Structure 1
């Protein structure tokens, strides 16, 4: 096994070795071919291949996710889309900057600016004035075709639920450190939720969110704001690198269950 290989890749290797499935890892582990007899399946990034194309696209797009959840009456954090002005005035619109400033004015506590697509909390900015907004938008647009702006809210708790066909396989809270974000890459620590009212409420909301976009295997982040739980985002690729440091058996079992579905095992 290659040194430094992601937990996701290690889990797939282990499952395939135990079930007589050949594995061909390409592109530094970001593309994985799995073959058993005439059946070939692929994993790409952190996507194991169980979700439909439209469910994957919706989950990968923060603005589209928020719109779809709102249509279904699922409580969520708003994400307002702004397309990169480099795409042209007919795509981005002529008034994109004025609309950004209007959102900031409507949220005196500040807003959060981040790429419309992407994970791990990269290029996420808390903005409280026009100068910060200009800087954040320029930074995100330098690497992305679009950004989203959300109202800044004081998040009391954040929980991630991993679902497979509406069954919660994992639920854990993200205990943040000194950063205002709950991202695991920003230093937050995963703490398993074994049961109780919080877990039940988060699982129910996560299932509602998954059903709203028709996704089969996903990790769903929900946050508690002013005592109420809301969906923050849905991840079509299920990443559990941080959790695996504390609970490797649980992470392996979760990927095993998903791969059983991939290969149609009961």
Structure 2
């Protein structure tokens, strides 16, 4: 793979390592990156550079667990109700799961959103308003996932992503929706950096509260404004900035540099 075809994440790690005397070995088309300095080796996998604890990483990657953890700390969030794949068996899934799904749909006549419990970029995300649409969405998601989540469909007035490192906001931008009802960057939304404002301040505070709730160190946190109030939509343990990197490459490089400084400073302190 040519360097120009690599993800911005991979290119950023290459630049950092080249500037800090760190050997780098890129495998699996860039999805596994080994970094070596002296006797110490660190890995990046996907978009995760290994700064977060195992439990924080798992919570962030599980939409249902994230919403439950945030609710425990009274952090405003969009609820995500978990349903396990019935193929796992009745002893695991139990009875009445479909009726519970239909109950959620009845509770939200404006519609519901069905999506995999784990996963990013808005893939296999369905808005449903009828029983037939719900059954189709559930079948599609269960065909490729061990579990799905159902959340109420809400009219999102604005969406902001905050990239945090040790509770410091390194990047804050809004997602300007395109023709799709979703705000995912892969669905055509455009990132726009936020200047100092009341919105930026409120979003940073909420993002920090969310990060504290699950004990995560390096993350991107998606926030949505609904009826004038900001809520957490999800927390991402892997920090992906591909779309932003095309517009603001220096900012994205500086953000990954700061995170990698933290990785290798920790290595140094453990010696």
Common fold by TM > 0.5: yes
Deviation at 1:2, TM superposition (A): 2.9
Which whole-Å CA distance do the structure 1 matches of 2:95 and 2:191 have between them?
43
Which whole-Å CA distance do the structure 1 matches of 2:254 and 2:3 have between them?
22
Which whole-Å CA distance do the structure 1 matches of 2:176 and 2:215 have between them?
29
| 1:183 has 2:202 as partner | no
Q: For residues 23-74 of structure 1, give each alpha carbon's deviation from its aligned partner in whole angstroms, at most 9, with x where no partner exists.
A: 0001110000000111111000000100000000000000000000000010
Which whole-Å CA distance do the structure 2 matches of 1:55 and 1:224 have between them?
25
SS in 2 for 1:263: helix
Deviation at 1:132, TM superposition (A): 0.1
| 1:96 has 2:97 as partner | yes
Which whole-Å CA distance do the structure 1 matches of 2:73 and 2:263 have between them?
28
SS in 2 for 1:42: strand
Residue 45 of structure 1 corresponds to 46
SS in 1 for 2:224: strand
Q: For residues 161-198 of structure 1, give each alpha carbon's deviation from its aligned partner in whole angstroms, at most 9, with x where no partner exists.
A: 00000000000000001110000000000000021000
Which whole-Å CA distance do the structure 1 matches of 2:19 and 2:72 have between them?
43
TM score, norm. by length of structure 2: 0.97
Which residues of structure 2 form unaligned runs of 5+?
Answer: none
CA contact (8 A) 2:3 2:11 kept: no
| 1:247 has 2:248 as partner | yes
Residue 9 of structure 1 corresponds to 10
Deviation at 1:93, TM superposition (A): 1.5
TM score, norm. by length of structure 1: 0.99
| 1:238 has 2:239 as partner | yes
Which whole-Å CA distance do the structure 2 matches of 1:92 and 1:46 have between them?
31
RMSD: 1.0
Which whole-Å CA distance do the structure 2 matches of 1:205 and 1:77 have between them?
13
Paired residues in the alignment total: 266
Runs of 4 or more above 2 Å deviation:
none
Which whole-Å CA distance do the structure 2 matches of 1:131 and 1:264 have between them?
54
Once the two structures are superposed, the pairs formed by residues 1-266 of structure 1 within 5 Å of their partners are 1-264=2-265
Which whole-Å CA distance do the structure 2 matches of 1:96 and 1:211 have between them?
32
